[in-house]
A and B are shown apart, each in its own frame.
Chain A
Amino acid sequence: MYSKILILHFPPAVAQKAVVCYLTKKYDLLFNILGAKVSNSKDGYMVLEICGTRDNYKKGVRYLKNQGVRVSSAEQEIWRDTSKCTHCGACTAVCPTQALYVKRPEMEVIYDKDKCTVCELCIVTCPTRAMGLYSSKNTEDMLQ
């Protein structure tokens, strides 16, 4: 399963509901509307969490773009739930930027958020699911 939070910008001519419903019908994607602003005369937008296979996700996004919807990714960050982290080190095998690294000699696993490029590799590699993707402030503000 693949899941992403997207911001869809709708030009006035595009009917929001119909387009989004087709994501489920045509591409077997599940969506969860996290926020929306609908307007008939001006641009509207919608913040959607989309889940499905990676392939269908790509097709779905292409479909949206073909319908004239502007698609942008919500600003996202990777966080570590320190209460879940056991300092096993498994994530350091896949982190390409060394944002996750082992501090020696203590052998404590450190997460340096500044080095993270949100590649998401650690999320499914971490056996305790301590690493997670979160929307950053910008998206939160939009939702209010």
Chain B
Amino acid sequence: MGEFKVNKTYAEINEKIKSGKAVVVTAEEIIGIVKENGPVEAAAQVDVVTTGTFAPMCSSGAFLNIGQSTPSVRTTKTWFNDVPAYSGVAAVDSFLGATEVSINDPLNKIHPGEFNYGGAHVLQDLVSGKKVEVRAESYGTDCYPNRKIEKTMTLADMPQAIMCNPRNGYQNYNCAINRTDKTKYTYMGTLKPNMANANYCSAGQLSPLFNDPYLKTIGIGTRIFLGGTQGYVSWSGTQHKSDVQRGLNGVPLTPAGTLFVMGNLKEMSPEWLVAQSIRGYGVSLSMGLGIPIPILNEEMAKFTAVADEDLFTQVVDYGHDYPQAISKSYGQISYAELKSGTIMIQGQEIPTVPLSSMIKARKIAMLLKESIKNGSFLLGEPQHIF
């Protein structure tokens, strides 16, 4: 630890939080503080920087336990409001994935499909306190003779409901354009032909993993804001990559790190868990995620001070290249340019479209800041770093 001028531990910061003395600012507020005072002084002043993001996280879902019935049942197929949930686990457990669609959905038969109801909508209905029709089947065993159950349940009726996002908080993401002459309906939104719009999806300077580019303070056990309650980082996420090209500030220039996060669905709120029907693509779930970054030293102060103009991504053609797994960039652009409303690609001025809500991201960072300041949110020291 000798290499830094400022050295703080998680325990020391938590003590300050408990006594109401911690200095907490958002990832937008720290930018000016570091610019004015330099990282050493900023690190001495500030204890925690809060981040936030609110965007579709397709890799979401929940383990739902529906409780036993009489006679007992070993559920092998389960549906919630006609949305199938994976039941190849223990009796009355199932995993309801956000992108699973209702059994009667016409999908893309009439392209582009609307995808009006799916797992994400069930999850949103549950956290909104709505009743959900639960149906399950089984082949029947000596110990679990029941072959069919049907009941109406609310989230409160379920013994357990655990939100589980195997791939959340993507550190950077592509900016999508369409170079073909037909409209494309993608998970990056509607892309008009001939590069008529450029869609991107990151909260930029507020985004959690942009503020800790090497994940020095984020690991297993990091306490986070998830869906309106306190959740945890439980592993690195699927498709997590740390060996990527980075800028001089250490921030990846392409999609890189991801997190596996979990939380208690019963404590979540529909304000921070919103189902998405993405035209022509499918159902997804937008989740509110916020991570507090402890300013353990001046290095962390410097990392959290990144601004949109220091953060870059690649422009990728989702019309032709991406579906063919061709990795080609049509330019490297900063989030400051993306947020300005237009970018220049091959001499063409293209209007940009955000898919990640800055309004909600900012609110998450503010809420997290408030709950740390008032002592209701303590830092979780990571037990393992990825």
Interface residues of A in 1-38 (CB under 8 A from B): 1
Distance in angstroms from B316 CB to nearest chain A CB is 16
Number of interface residues of A (CB under 8 A): 21
User: Is A107 located at the chain interface by the 8 A CB criterion?
Assistant: yes
| Residues B286 and A88 in contact, CB atoms below 8 Å apart | yes
Chain B residues near A (Cβ < 8 Å): 54-56, 110, 112, 114, 116, 189-192, 197, 199, 274-279, 284, 286, 339-341, 351, 353-360
The one of B110, B275, B340, B357 in contact with A87, judged by C-beta atoms closer than 8 angstroms, is B357
How far apart are the CA atoms of A71 and B357 in the complex, in Å? 42
A-B CB contacts (within 8 Å), total count: 70
A38 to B277, CA, bound (A): 41
A67 beta carbon closer than 8 Å to chain B = no
Q: Are A88 and B55 in contact (CB under 8 A)?
A: yes
Residues on B with C-beta less than 8 A from A106 are 358-359
A128 within 8 A of B: yes
Q: How far is the CA of A15 from the CA of B333 in the complex (A)?
A: 64
Q: In the complex, are the beta carbons of A127 and B358 less than 8 A apart? A: no
**In the assembly, what is the distance between CA of A92 and CA of B357, in Å?**
13
Chain B's closest residue to A1 (CB) is B114
Contacts of A88 in B (CB 8 A): 55, 286, 354-357
Task: Report if A128-B275 is in contact (Cβ < 8 Å); known contacts: A86-B286, A93-B197.
Answer: yes
Interface residue? A90 (CB, 8 A): yes
Asked if A102 and B277 make an inter-chain contact with CB atoms under 8 angstroms apart, the answer reads no
Leading 4 A-B pairs by shortest Cβ distance: A107-B358, A127-B276, A89-B354, A87-B359
* Chain A: minimal CB distance from B356 (Å): 7
Q: Is A124 touching B357 in the complex (CB atoms < 8 A)?
A: no
* Structural contact, A128 and B341, CB atoms closer than 8 A: no
Bound: A93/B275 CA distance, A? 20
Which residues of chain A in 116-136 are interfacial with respect to chain B, using CB atoms and an 8 Å cutoff?
124-125, 127-129
Q: What chain B residues lie within 8 Å of A86 (beta carbons)?
A: 54, 274, 286, 357, 359-360
CB within 8 Å for A94 and B190 given contacts A127-B277, A129-B277: yes
Contacting A89 at CB < 8 Å: which of B56, B278, B279, B357? B357
Provide the residues of chain B in CB contact with A89, threshold 8 Å: 353-355, 357
Per-residue B-contact encoding for A61-105, CB less than 8 Å = 1, 0 else:
000000000000000000000000011111011100000001011
**Closest A-chain residue to B276, C-beta based?**
A127
Please report the C-alpha to C-alpha distance between residue A87 and residue B279 in the assembled complex, in whole angstroms: 17
- Asked if residues B339 and A90 are in contact (CB atoms below 8 Å), the reply is no
Query: How far is B357's CA from A108's CA once the two chains are assembled, in angstroms?
Result: 8
Our pick among B189, B276, B340, B354 for the contact of A128 (Cβ within 8 Å) is B276
Find the A residue at minimum CB distance from B200: A89
Kindly identify which residue among A90, A107, A125, A128 contacts B359, using a CB–CB cutoff of 8 Å.
A107
Complex Cα distance, B355 from A86, in Å, reads 10
CB distance from B54 to the nearest CB of A (A): 7
Q: Given A88-B286, A90-B353, A128–B190 Cβ distance below 8 Å?
A: no
What residues on A are CB-neighbors of B199 within 8 Å?
Answer: 90, 93
* Residues of A with C-beta under 8 A to B276: 127-128
Q: Are B357 and A125 in contact (CB under 8 A)?
A: no
Nearest CB in chain B to that of A104: its residue? B341
17 contacts between A and B (CB under 8 A): A86-B54, A86-B286, A86-B357, A86-B359, A87-B360, A88-B55, A89-B355, A93-B189, A93-B190, A93-B197, A93-B353, A102-B341, A104-B340, A124-B114, A127-B56, A127-B276, A129-B116
